[in-house]
Structure 1
Amino acid sequence: MSLHKEQQIKIYNTLSGKKETFTPIEPGHIGMYVCGPTVYSNVHLGNVRTFMSFDMVFRYFKHLGYKVRYVRNITDAGHLENDADAGEDKITKKARLESIEPMEVVQRYTVDFHNTLNTFNFLPPSIEPTATGHIIEQIELVKKIIANGFGYEVNGSVYFDVHKFNESYTYGILSKRKLEDLIHNTRALDGQSDKKNPQDFALWKKAEPQHIMRWPSPWSDGFPGWHLECTTMSTKYLGEHFDIHGGGMDLKFPHHECEIAQNEAAVGRSPVNFWMHANMLELNGQRMSKTTGNIINPAELLSGKNDIMSKAYSPSVIRFFIAQSSYRSILDLTNDGLLSSEKGFLRLMDAINALDELKAGTASTFDIAEWQQRCYDAMNDDFNSPILIANLFEAVKYINQLKEGTATLTAEDLELLKSSMHSFCFDILGLENVGITDSSSEKLAGAVELLIELRQQARANKDFALSDKIRDQLAEKGIQLNDSKEGTTFDVK
């Protein structure tokens, strides 16, 4: 059964700045492209949040019965340090620093990317193309742009003529930036003398002698511009006009703006009906930053081996935490927030597990079909997962009343409640029904907590010999105590 015929979805379109009713170009089919990672370092939590948002979108479309072609690329060449035309290729730089081949860098961090996303229970995309696998197509696209008068070659590099393009189209249509403002705010930069104007961006860059990653082209041995890659790969697999293009908010300008310009310059039309952007992830109220040390990576969050969180958190608790905010909202990652999400997640799983033990009655106290539609209404409203979760906890209340015998459901409604809870929690939100602890580990946790309390009393009494003995003997058994200003936690090795 195709549920999509019964559900009308509204999506916030960055292009128009408002929610619009979503109608696919081809009935029953959806083409969606999301900008993937540049694989020169371990995937960070901000990336995970963005890709998790689109994983949920992908899951919802599939649940509704759409046939979805979801394309998410791997950038393995051409992404320069300042995300534009200058500096060193990020992958080449990493290879040079570690004295390894660039493709060793690519392989290492592509594997890390896939392993991390698998840990968080992501569905794989339909197609995962790489930039290096589409060099020929990118060269052909540059030829089209030059032939149409919107690209020019200087000293082996090819640039996009933004000013010429703006005479026929609108550069800045997505980000709402005006070219005259960009001109006013642009300072002349060293190394940009080849360009007609500072706003022009690279379509093809001539490789310097020391640049390892290079390919032959009509203009020079070089490599493609970063913006060109996504235009080429999205249109190759989804056509010149497709339904949805997604990515992080940080890509809206210049990356996505340049994608629109390239497509219009090459084929005369804007490529995408709906542009979707996931917002930023903060850590304790501040932007994540390697330079300030305000950063935590997925492995540290999952293992608990960090100085920021009080304990380790499971992948499903982190997914649940992320789903409790709209994908368009800034999300602040905090220990208190994760602890609260863990409690909520466990309540939800306990309720789902209890459903299997419930017996049907002769009448229904609740209108389960109406509740189910409210869950769909939440997702239909720009994938509003926080409202969906609020509705799921309404169901938790129902389930608790059913357990207590103060409410009843017919066999048909009980089955509808079971199937709906499974669909929304597991198929759409991507959670996994794993308890944080089993009964034996709960007993272990209780025993260790008692020893931690005895150790704290010993320290308060200045009996440091006993305090150290408790810590050391637990360590011999593979239980490590972690003292911090928030208190003492433990890890089982």
Structure 2
Amino acid sequence: MQLYKSQTLKIYNSLTGKKEIFEPINEGHIGMYVCGPTVYSNVHLGNCRTFMSFDMIFRYLKHLGYKVRYVRNITDAGHLENDADEGEDKIAKKARLEQIEPMEVVQRYTVDFHNTLQKFNFLSPSIEPTATGHIIEQIEIIKVILEKGLAYEVNGSVYFDVVKFNKSYEYGKLSGRKLEDMITNTRELAAQDEKKSPQDFALWKKAEPQHIMRWPSPWGDGFPGWHLECTAMSTKYLGETFDIHGGGMDLKFPHHECEIAQAEASNGHSPVNYWMHANMLTLNGKKMAKSTGNNILPNEMFSGENDILSKPFTPTVVRFFMMQAHYTSILDLSNEALLASEKGFQKLMDSLDLLDKLETAADSDFDVASWKQKCYDAMNDDFNTPILIATLFEAVKHINLIKEGKENISEADKNTLRETMHSFIFDVLGLDHKVDAQGDSDKLPGVVDLLIQLRNEARANKDFATSDKIRDQLAALGIQLKDGKEGTTFSVS
């Protein structure tokens, strides 16, 4: 169904700083590119939130009937430490520290990335290109930019000439920065620096003898600049101008700013109509960081093996928690917030079971058609999932009133209500209806709770052999027990 013909979708465009009515380049078709992970470590929760936001957007666009080509890349080379033009490649550094091949690092963490996203019930992108698979395309773009005089080669490296580019175009328009201010605020370059200006960025870097990841080019052996990779992959699969480019807020500058400059320098026009940026995730009110210990990985949340949360949480509960904030808002993760989300998710699932059992009447007191459009209105307003969830809970309230005999619903309205709730809960929000809040079948939590109770009695009677036997045999079945201040909880691996 081409629902998009009857709905008006508005998207907040980071490039213009306002909400705009979405009009695709080709009616009924959308090209969307999202910057994927640099695969040198386990994917962290903040990245998961960004990718989850765009998974939700992908789902809603498909729900509206658009044919979406969604491209999300894998960065497997060229991303240097501190997002700089100097220093060590993040993947090569990991390979050196662990004494393995860089592509072993790439393989290990690409698999982890896919496994984690699968647990969160992500849809696969239409295309998932790798940076190393598009070296030729990147070299060809560099040649074009050099021919146009907007880049220069020094000692086997090629740099983008930002000052020269800015005479014909506007560098900084996405992030709202002025080149003059950037230049004023930059200290003089060190004598050994090859760039003409501190703002210039690498399109191609010469590989020093110790650099493992290297490819031949017209300028000698080297590797591509991080920014260039996304320009090459997005335009190859979506064209010189496409509809939506997404990523985390932290990529707006310099990464996305440089992408715009490269595309304009090579193609002569702006590459993207709608720029979208997802905001960050904090933990207990502070920035998540490995260095401070204020950090938790997705699998640590699912297993309960962490010192931050009181119990394990299923991927679908974590997803529901993330959907309760707008994708452009900072979201703070805490034990209390997850517990509340778990209760809310279970309430939503219970209401769906209850809906199937409701008796119908000739007429309805609940205006289902109006309520249904409110669901669309929420999502049409820049994918406002918190308002959508509030609207879904309006339906929960009415379902309970109908069950209590205080309202009536007709058979036709009941069917519309069921279909709409399923569409938005499962298809759009991407929640997984195969599990409950505890993540298991209806019977398993009760059985494990009974065994935990028997184990507690054994421990109280100092019968540690029986206590350990229960724990070990459950572990052999993939059920992990965790003893904490609040009692014993379990998780299923």
Query: Same fold judged by TM-score > 0.5?
Result: yes
Amino acid at match of 1:332: D
CA distance in structure 1 between the aligned counterparts of 2:192 and 2:384, rounded to whole angstroms: 44
Q: Cα deviation per residue 1:92-137 (whole Å; 9 max; x = unaligned)?
A: 1111111111111111111111111111110000111111111111
- Counterpart contact for 2:303–2:491, Cα < 8 Å: no
| Stretch of structure 1 that moved more, 395-404 or 118-127 | 395-404
Corresponding residue for 1:461?
none
| Residue 224 (str. 1) matches residue 244 (str. 2) | no
- Tell me the CA shift for residue 438 of structure 1: 4.3
CA distance in structure 2 between the aligned counterparts of 1:56 and 1:243, rounded to whole angstroms: 17
Corresponding residue for 1:491?
490
Corresponding residue for 2:9?
9
Corresponding residue for 2:360?
360
Identity %: 67
TM-score normalised to the size of structure 2? 0.94
- Tell me the CA shift for residue 2 of structure 1: 0.5
Corresponding residue for 1:90?
90
CA distance in structure 1 between the aligned counterparts of 2:170 and 2:120, rounded to whole angstroms: 40
Corresponding residue for 1:117?
117
The equivalences for 1:85-234 within 5 A come to 85-188=85-188, 190=190, 193-234=193-234
Q: Cα deviation per residue 1:250-299 (whole Å; 9 max; x = unaligned)?
A: 10000000000001111111111110000001111111111001110011
Q: Which segments of 5 or more consecutive residues in structure 2 lack a partner in the other structure?
A: none
**RMSD after superposition:** 2.0
- Tell me the CA shift for residue 220 of structure 1: 1.1
CA distance in structure 2 between the aligned counterparts of 1:191 and 1:324, rounded to whole angstroms: 51
- Tell me the CA shift for residue 57 of structure 1: 0.2
| Stretch of structure 1 that moved more, 172-181 or 54-63 | 172-181
- Counterpart contact for 2:317–2:338, Cα < 8 Å: yes
- Tell me the CA shift for residue 491 of structure 1: 2.4
Partner SS for 1:277: strand
CA distance in structure 1 between the aligned counterparts of 2:343 and 2:289, rounded to whole angstroms: 29
Partner SS for 2:71: strand
- Counterpart contact for 2:312–2:491, Cα < 8 Å: no
- Tell me the CA shift for residue 448 of structure 1: 6.1
CA distance in structure 1 between the aligned counterparts of 2:121 and 2:194, rounded to whole angstroms: 47
Corresponding residue for 2:471?
475
CA distance in structure 2 between the aligned counterparts of 1:31 and 1:424, rounded to whole angstroms: 23
- Counterpart contact for 1:84–1:226, Cα < 8 Å: no
Q: Cα deviation per residue 1:139-198 (whole Å; 9 max; x = unaligned)?
A: 000011111111000000000011111111111100001112211222345586111111
CA distance in structure 1 between the aligned counterparts of 2:258 and 2:450, rounded to whole angstroms: 59
| Residue 432 (str. 1) matches residue 427 (str. 2) | no
CA distance in structure 2 between the aligned counterparts of 1:490 and 1:412, rounded to whole angstroms: 43
| Residue 285 (str. 1) matches residue 280 (str. 2) | no
- Tell me the CA shift for residue 79 of structure 1: 0.6
Partner SS for 1:276: strand
Corresponding residue for 1:243?
243
- Counterpart contact for 1:204–1:225, Cα < 8 Å: yes
| Residue 18 (str. 1) matches residue 14 (str. 2) | no
Q: Which segments of 5 or more consecutive residues in structure 1 lack a partner in the other structure?
A: 459-464
- Tell me the CA shift for residue 467 of structure 1: 9.7
- Tell me the CA shift for residue 33 of structure 1: 0.3
Corresponding residue for 2:444?
441
- Counterpart contact for 1:157–1:204, Cα < 8 Å: yes
Partner SS for 2:243: strand
- Counterpart contact for 1:240–1:271, Cα < 8 Å: yes
Q: Cα deviation per residue 1:332-353 (whole Å; 9 max; x = unaligned)?
A: 1111100000000000011112
Give the 3 Å change call, closer, same or farther, for CA 378–112 of structure 1 in structure 2: same
Partner SS for 2:276: strand
TM-score normalised to the size of structure 1? 0.94
Corresponding residue for 1:405?
405
Give the 3 Å change call, closer, same or farther, for CA 149–476 of structure 1 in structure 2: closer
CA distance in structure 2 between the aligned counterparts of 1:341 and 1:489, rounded to whole angstroms: 21
Amino acid at match of 1:475: R
Q: Cα deviation per residue 1:369-391 (whole Å; 9 max; x = unaligned)?
A: 10000000000000000000000
Amino acid at match of 1:58: F
